[in-house]
């Protein structure tokens, strides 16, 4: 099966600005026809950790809200609570974090709902057959919505290689407990020879299982109590010296498989009523969960729209892969795939597996508008 993916490049003019391009994509991909009049339409986004300024800007979301209303849907904008320490671990902080990044009911024209509730316990358990996950813990408001539009910022990710629609669905619609299950194969270890003993990782650990112990010579180095570690990956993301690397050889495949399973669970009760828009702009090397962002490693590429999660992500990573890297970004000078220059992760595992479990097709027809 070949799925259609619609594409607009990032250029703009006085005749057609970027928001106009998003409207064109919405219409050409018939995203206004995936839901019925009166449907509650979840607009799933990632509003970014405060401190990060690389996330999807609110005007794009407002534009989609307007399009949903024009087509008779009742939109709400949503995301979930996080597993790791930060400013989005409960709905109160999460709404405040969204507001600090410019996402409010006033700026978006639709209510903001934290999909898994006050403390992340509003869960719908979705059963899956023939998967690595027998039961997925999905945020209730995602499951209860009649239809969903998944708006994803394309960027790099230290565990997946890239983040797009599949990760936004799989990890982004999971409750904190679900996120823990997704991350639990990761067993981080401190490399004592790289550890500077600055303790930056210690306050970021949600279960307080990192301490400083005696290291080589007179130094002190971090040590992880593996019996307590929940594998959230927060310490790996925090360490500025790469002293807590991930086990690249096994865990990326496991987490990609499980995340695809969770993605399927997030849309299982409304497969034909989900649409996707990917924003290939500000393609930063790291996730919007970081409270900082590095410069983009490729220039802005554009926007894609589809009703197929696998096709849109495949097309989006391909578009980035053939874009010459930015001279001041982390892939500068790379002659091959810039994704692999950032993280040495086979990021196509999730695409292959998602296709295998029926989430969509890796074969796509790119229709440039
Ligand atoms: S592991 Fe990294 S963040 Fe933690 S103390 Fe060592 S150098 Fe600092
Ligand atoms: S030690 Fe384990 S639980 Fe603590 S931050 Fe690192 S991965 Fe998360």
Question: For the segment 324-341, what is each residue's pLDDT rounded down to a tens digit?
Answer: 999 999 999 999 999 999
CA pseudo-torsion sign 131, 115, 68, 269 = positive
Question: Is 174 a pocket residue for ligand 1 (Cβ < 6 Å)?
Answer: no
Average pLDDT score over the chain: 93
Domain map of the chain by residue range? 3-183+249-368, 187-245
Candidate CATH numbers 3.30.360.10, 1.10.4190.10, 3.30.70.3270, 2.10.25.10; the one for domain 187-245: 3.30.70.3270
* Maximum CA extent, the chain: 69
Q: How confident is the model at residue 249 (pLDDT cuts 50, 70, 90)?
A: very low
Q: What is the pTM of this model?
A: 0.84
pLDDT in tens, 255-281: 899 999 999 999 999 999 999 999 999
Counting from 1 in the atom list of ligand 2, the atom nearest the Cα of 238 is: 5
Question: Is 205 a pocket residue for ligand 1 (Cβ < 6 Å)?
Answer: no
172 vs 282: CA distance, rounded Å: 19
190 vs 213: CA distance, rounded Å: 11
Coil, helix or strand at residue 159: coil
Question: Is 244 a pocket residue for ligand 1 (Cβ < 6 Å)?
Answer: yes
Torsion of CA 189, 198, 255, 177, to 10 degrees: 110
Is residue 62 within a helix (H) or strand (E), and if so which, with residue range?
helix 58-70
Percent of the chain residues past pLDDT 70, beyond the cut: 96
Report yes or no: 182 and 174 within 8 Å, Cβ to Cβ: yes
Average pLDDT over residues 69-93: 91
Fold of 3-183+249-368: Rossmann fold (3.40.50)
Question: Is 234 a pocket residue for ligand 2 (Cβ < 6 Å)?
Answer: yes
Residue 181 has pLDDT above 80, yes or no: no
Ligand 2 centroid to 209 CA: how many Å? Answer: 7
Q: How confident is the model at residue 228 (pLDDT cuts 50, 70, 90)?
A: confident
Q: What is the pLDDT of residue 120?
A: 87
Residue 158 has pLDDT above 90, yes or no: no
User: What region does 364 belong to: left with phi over 0, alpha with psi -120 to 50, or beta?
Assistant: beta
Report yes or no: 265 and 128 within 8 Å, Cβ to Cβ: yes
Q: What is the pLDDT of residue 248?
A: 46
Residue 7 has pLDDT above 80, yes or no: yes
Residue 156 has pLDDT above 90, yes or no: yes
- Count of helix runs (H) and strand runs (E) in the chain: 12, 14
Q: How confident is the model at residue 197 (pLDDT cuts 50, 70, 90)?
A: very high
Question: Is 208 a pocket residue for ligand 1 (Cβ < 6 Å)?
Answer: no
Q: What is the pLDDT of residue 188?
A: 82
Counting from 1 in the atom list of ligand 2, the atom nearest the Cα of 210 is: 1
Tokens matching residue 241: 């010296």
Ligand 1 mutation pick, 193, 196, 215, max ligand atoms within 8 A of CB: 196
Ligand 1 mutation pick, 200, 242, 245, max ligand atoms within 8 A of CB: 200
Ligand 2 centroid to 226 CA: how many Å? Answer: 9
- Cβ burial of 174 (10 Å; 0-12, 13-18, 19+) is buried
| C-alpha 104, offset from chain centre | 20
Q: What is the pLDDT of residue 148?
A: 98
Q: What is the pLDDT of residue 182?
A: 83
């Amino acid at each position: 099966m070949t799925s259609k993916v619609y594409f607009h490049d990032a250029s703009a003019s006085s005749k057609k600005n970027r928001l106009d391009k998003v409207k064109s994509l919405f219409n050409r991909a018939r995203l206004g026809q995936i839901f019925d009049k009166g449907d509650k339409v979840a607009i799933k986004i990632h509003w970014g950790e405060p401190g990060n300024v690389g996330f999807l800007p609110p005007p794009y979301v407002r534009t989609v809200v307007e399009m949903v209303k024009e087509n008779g849907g009742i939109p709400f904008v949503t995301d979930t609570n996080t597993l790791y320490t930060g400013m989005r671990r409960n709905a109160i902080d999460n709404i405040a974090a969204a507001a600090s990044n410019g996402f409010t009911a006033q700026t978006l024209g639709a209510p903001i709902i934290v999909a898994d509730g006050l403390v992340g316990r509003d869960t719908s358990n979705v059963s899956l057959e023939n998967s690595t996950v027998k039961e997925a813990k999905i945020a209730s408001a995602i499951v209860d919505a009649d239809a969903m539009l998944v708006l994803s910022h394309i960027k790099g990710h230290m565990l997946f290689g890239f983040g797009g629609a599949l990760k936004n669905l799989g990890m982004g619609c999971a409750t904190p407990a679900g996120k823990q299950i997704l991350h639990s194969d990761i067993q981080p270890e401190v490399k004592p020879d790289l550890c500077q003993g600055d303790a930056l990782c210690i306050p970021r650990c949600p279960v307080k299982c990192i301490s400083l112990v005696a290291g080589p010579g007179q130094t002190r180095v971090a040590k992880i109590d593996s019996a307590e570690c929940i594998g959230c990956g927060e310490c790996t993301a925090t360490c500025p010296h790469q002293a807590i690397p991930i086990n690249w050889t096994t865990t990326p495949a496991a987490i990609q498989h499980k995340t695809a399973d969770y993605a399927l669970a997030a849309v299982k009760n409304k497969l034909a009523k989900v649409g996707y828009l990917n924003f290939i702009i500000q393609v930063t090397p790291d996730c919007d969960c970081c409270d900082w962002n590095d410069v983009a490693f490729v220039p802005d590429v554009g926007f894609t729209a589809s009703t197929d999660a696998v096709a849109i992500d495949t097309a989006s990573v391909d578009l980035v892969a053939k874009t010459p890297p930015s001279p001041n970004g982390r892939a500068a000078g790379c002659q091959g795939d810039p994704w692999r220059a950032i993280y040495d992760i086979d990021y196509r595992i999730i695409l292959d597996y998602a296709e295998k479990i029926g989430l969509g097709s890796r074969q796509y027809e790119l229709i440039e508008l």
